[in-house]
Structure 1
Amino acid sequence: MNNERVFKMKVSDVYPMLIQKVERKGREKTEVDVITCWLTGYDIQGLKSQLEKEASYEQFFAEAPQINSNANKITGVVCGIRVEDITDPLMQKVRWLDKLVDELAKGKAMEKILRS
């Protein structure tokens, strides 16, 4: 998929799919919110605001208060690509979020997901 196309995608269009993915595996929306806030530095109100204004991934990450300092510890494969090898900083952030949600859906403990 073209990176620019991904960057222009509305987070509000993708977020419900992330929630559905984890709910099918017995996890909860609030856990997706915790993961997203941990990664981006948004609080719940800030996250909600980004979703309401239909921010693109590009806007969402550009306006993120603070990418978590432990985000570089997120490793593994998403869509056949190792997230630690992604050279485009924005695409890496998008894939970090995907990877965290994948880990949640696979039943990983929240402490491990949040690299604490």
Structure 2
Amino acid sequence: ETLLCWAHGFYPKEIDVTWRKDGEVRQEDMFRGVVSPNQDGTYYTWLSIEIDPKERSRYQCHVEHDGLQEPLDVAVEESVPVWLIAVGVIVGVLVVLIVAGVIFYVRNQ
């Protein structure tokens, strides 16, 4: 699994973004994007890391920047399973079809 950490809208350009596992900085299996300018004069960058999905909850994106009062640690959120999203979409479509059918039936009576 690949985790991505995006930092955007920061100024000045200098920033330190790292992946941490259980609080320890990880360098292996990590890829770093360049710090690039936005049109408004701020900057953005990204950092990715390849992990074992079973260890997802052990990772944090750590950001240090002069614009922050203190370093920022962002925990990785658990992803919603695809099947759960599919069930939600199907149930939503069925509800809309049932409501439309009831409205159609009532109007034609």
Q: TM-score range by the shorter chain?
A: under 0.3
TM value normalised by structure 2: 0.23
TM value normalised by structure 1: 0.22
Which structure has more relative contact order (CA 8 Å, sep 6+)? It is 1
Please state which structure has a larger fraction of its residues in helix. 1
